Structure 1
């Protein structure tokens, strides 16, 4: 990345910003006044700025490159020729133009005024397209230890007249650098993510729709509402650019309100995430049974915009992205002081986004559970309908089954646990089961049995129907205890839910089912 130099004008006074005037003497080799912090410029290559940091996972797919952030700052830069003093005119910021013709906006902190008593007003960064432009990087300004806190208020001395605790300038500078990197990570990865969504739409969806390779239902089963999601993320990227470009110091950038305002729109990810398993399963099925789809998919994969990634890799990116927002915000909060104007907005944003992600995870879990119920309905011979309102799949496993405490030898049972039902089956093959017994949890009670000479680590499921009593045990005491804990939790949750429904029905004057 082209980095401009600053030409000095001999000795001069400070800018009056609270930093103090620079000491008189010779300027550095590149024209930087002695004693002044050099600007921090993150690298423009190699992907995200926080790779390797805790909470910031590297992109799991190859080919992602870092993209620069919008410049925020003010001041003037000179070209390679010296500045001509002219006290009669207002100094204007100048921009270096490299040989390749690219323009580099001035960076915050790199300022040289003709008249130090008349600071040059900060130039506004041009409004640029969020999708096409290659924006300059967000500048970094080291915090001034002599300046007021970021929030703008001067700290009052603590009770008792003791002086306020001094801030270590080096630690504060390091904190601001890390916060700057967090901002860069959020912005760059958002641009990368939108690029991935555009690749998914332009390389896969549009051609397949135009060639009528898939009907509308199959297209939705594969791609869900991704064309809706991209509009939400483009809006967020635009707002991030706006807040960055209108802030005149890197450490003062505030983005908490952006996430807070758009948090509700991210609920649209619930639809996509709930369809995730259906999407991936449909792709595998189409590859096996739809030659035209398979052939077109191979052509799409050769497109340079795919960067060697397959369709399935792009289909999991929305879930990866939405689940990463809480991690990104948590890391930004970590390096944001409590007197910073973005502290409270970030706290609110983190709470809202975290709640949305929790809802998305629950919706995805329920969708996967429903799909599992539909699959089991086909796999278990002789079972009544497993699909019921409010029923969700929980887990399954192998347990030993005794008809009574007098039984000498156990039988193996593959047991399926649902939120309101336990189904015992006999395995007939890899994906085939025979129904043996169903136990409703609304009237179920779990009793731990004492060890006998031939039955150990056992527990009994008791119902009002004696014919549905059964004794189960795991392979070890530890395994049995785990099953007991989970089954008791299921029974308690379901029975509390039923009581709540009955109470609500009574309040409404209805007769509960």
Structure 2
């Protein structure tokens, strides 16, 4: 083997900088798909292992490939564990790297990139869970018309009650509005049962410009308004005016419109999208009586911080329930 060599000076070269680029998002997108599909894969495997021919087949494959004696669900867990380990390993490497070392900045950048990948995977998991809730919400709306919300949207940004005024009548109508990415859905409350909503219309937010309106007489509509803002269509010059009951409600809506545009831009930058299969499955689940059972299933959550070995557990962390969906459930009770 020759003489024992002294300690080597190891340089990361271009390995770490590759992770620090924006390409890390799409390079690791397959992990996002895999982690979010992992619960379904385990459920399907559990179903198949109840049939002897599949049990024999899986074992024969393992023996032919001379693989270690681990069950198939253990192999399925490996990619999830790996994406969890990357930040831990890089953090440990950074801990023992001298800040003056030429590799320090590259390792630090790689660590931040892998943390971002974990955050993106968790965000995608949350968004995929949301599409089931959105599909269930839509199924509770009476007289729904046109395409499903999920055709263009995957996130509820904000919701609330506003007075809507449109040309040519300039008549005020009290409506419930639900702001999703790309669209604003308008619903009307039932006169007798106020917890039932009827679909009325929707507005394409991609074509809209949001304008703040001062209290007083509006020139376009020739009426006095308070706590108002406008949605102006750049293409058709169509204008809608909306009035909130309180100034703080108006400000929350203006902030929500900013968040909606920010969400759309972020989805474009990260390449986030919902597949047609996922959309159809969500709508199918919304119409099934075992919807609540599906929503209770656990999903793997990846660490965005750096805990110890607990990160390898697939238990979902406890979270406070979202007020959004509690409010919506009161307004539009899910059908049995």
Q: TM-score, normalised by structure 2?
A: 0.45
The answer to which structure has the higher strand fraction is: 2
Q: Which has the higher contact order (CA 8 A, sep 6+)?
A: 2
Q: TM-score, normalised by structure 1?
A: 0.32
From the CA coordinates, give the structure whose radius of gyration is larger.
1
